[in-house]
Amino acid sequence: MREIRGAVIEAAGRPTSIETLRLDDPRPGEVLVRMTASGVCHSDLHVRDGDWERPGPIVLGHEGAGVIEAVGAGLDPSVVGRAVALSWYAPCLRCRECQRGRQWLCQGSPSLRHRQADGTTRLERADGSPVLAYLSIGTFAEAQVVPATAVVPMPDGVPPEVAALIGCGVSTGVGAVLKTAEVPAGSTVAIIGLGGVGLSCVMGAVLAGAGRIVVDVSRAKLDLAGELGATHWVQADPSNPQATVDGIRGAAGDGGPDFVFEAIGTPTTIAQAVAALPPGGTAVLVGLTRFGEVASFEPFPFVDGGRRILGSNYGSAVAAIDFPRYADAYLAGRLPIERLIDRRLPLDDLEDAFDRLRAGQAARQVVVFD
């Protein structure tokens, strides 16, 4: 048992407060990780702002990296001291989807319940009441006990902030392009929304050898995407959604881009992604909407033109295999992940980071721990 500081929300839609909590020792199948960095992803903000119902009290954060401090009984103690990235979807390794290699669809993951595999939590308040960990890893905390299957060792030389981003934004965006959509070289792709996820789609499209059109309301984001290798840009005006569709189609030529990646999660931008497709084109939905929201499109031209829509969860990641691959691509200079980081902050400034993210002003902000 030790004391740690973590960012807790009482329930979805409530602000975070930094609390001192008690963290129990890891049990069999669990690992104690001292956190080194945690990115601030819009999926944390969705919970913070009440877009998604989640149980509480809960420590937020799901894009984390750290160092293994201890392992539960039965695990190899030689891994203590290893730098790791954390997966926010710890696979059970037993369900049908895990068995067929589609761990991003695991139906038995403890992450679905924000608890450890045995259904309990290792965190509690001073009065002994339990505190959950978002997606079983709750990375806005100085340390956490997490499922062993959430822990992926990183190669030497990967900075903590980069490892953290591999834990969500990079795997989600790069994987959407390379794994979910399997974009062939020579295709044209458009990416709507250039936060950490959309900018990672841009990096994925560069790796795939595809032409890149980027769309955002923010000029600064478009400039950053240009530095990462975007070839054309469209500055979106939310009051004129059709102009964005026309801009994407015009930049792509040939009737529109082969793939459109939506990395925001609003009904309007999802509809834009579908509307910008030429016959045979594919919209890849990566952004996550508020619970209950519905997007719509006209079915006749969609069906008549043989178009497709794909949902992409976690970039179809198998963390144990894909995280080290993305890390190697970073080390080889082919995935400039550090360019996405525009702010490092202490845990105490998390609410300010959420304000900046909500205003669309952030690329990727990363909480760093001493």
Ligand X SMILES: NC(=O)c1ccc[n+]([C@@H]2O[C@H](COP(=O)([O-])OP(=O)(O)OC[C@H]3O[C@@H](n4cnc5c(N)ncnc54)[C@H](O)[C@@H]3O)[C@@H](O)[C@H]2O)c1
Residues of the shown chain interacting with ligand X in the complex, contacts defined by CB under 6 A = 41-43, 46, 168, 172, 192-198, 215-218, 221, 236, 238, 263-265, 269, 286-288, 312-314, 357, 360, 362
Q: CB 77 → ligand X: shortest distance, Å?
A: 33
Which H or E run contains 350?
A: helix 350-358
According to CB under 5 A, which one of 32, 41, 60, 276 is a site residue for Zn ion?
A: 41
Q: Does 168 bind Zn ion (CB under 5 A)?
A: yes
The closest of 19, 30, 13, 18 to 121, measured between CA atoms, is 30
* 241-252 and 267-275 helices, crossing angle to 10°: 30
The closest of 231, 171, 227, 224 to 201, measured between CA atoms, is 171
Kindly write out the interface string for residues 280-319 of this chain, putting x where it contacts Zn ion by CB under 5 A and - elsewhere: ----------------------------------------
Q: Does 18 bind Zn ion (CB under 5 A)?
A: no
263 binds, among ligand X, Zn ion, none (CB under 5 to 8 A by kind): ligand X
Kindly write out the interface string for residues 205-244 of this chain, putting x where it contacts Zn ion by CB under 5 A and - elsewhere: ----------------------------------------
Q: Does 106 bind Zn ion (CB under 5 A)?
A: yes
> Half-sphere exposure of 197 toward its Cβ, with a 13 Å CA cutoff?
26
Q: CB 172 → Zn ion: shortest distance, Å?
A: 6
Q: Does 98 bind Zn ion (CB under 5 A)?
A: yes
Which is closer to Zn ion, CB of 132 or CB of 234? 132
Contact 26, 72 (CB under 8 A): yes
Residue nearest to ligand X according to CB distances in the complex:
195
Rounded CA separation 20/7 (Å): 9
Handedness of CA 171, 176, 180, 181 (dihedral sign): negative
Six-digit token string for 328:
């190697």
Six-digit token string for 90:
């710890």
Q: Does 108 bind Zn ion (CB under 5 A)?
A: yes
Q: Does 102 bind Zn ion (CB under 5 A)?
A: no
Rounded CA separation 262/274 (Å): 9
Which is closer to Zn ion, CB of 188 or CB of 289? 289
Contact 366, 39 (CB under 8 A): yes
Q: Which 3 state secondary structure label does DSSP give 149?
A: helix
Which is closer to Zn ion, CB of 101 or CB of 333? 101
Residues contributing to the site for Zn ion (CB under 5 A): 41, 43, 91-92, 95, 98, 106, 108, 168
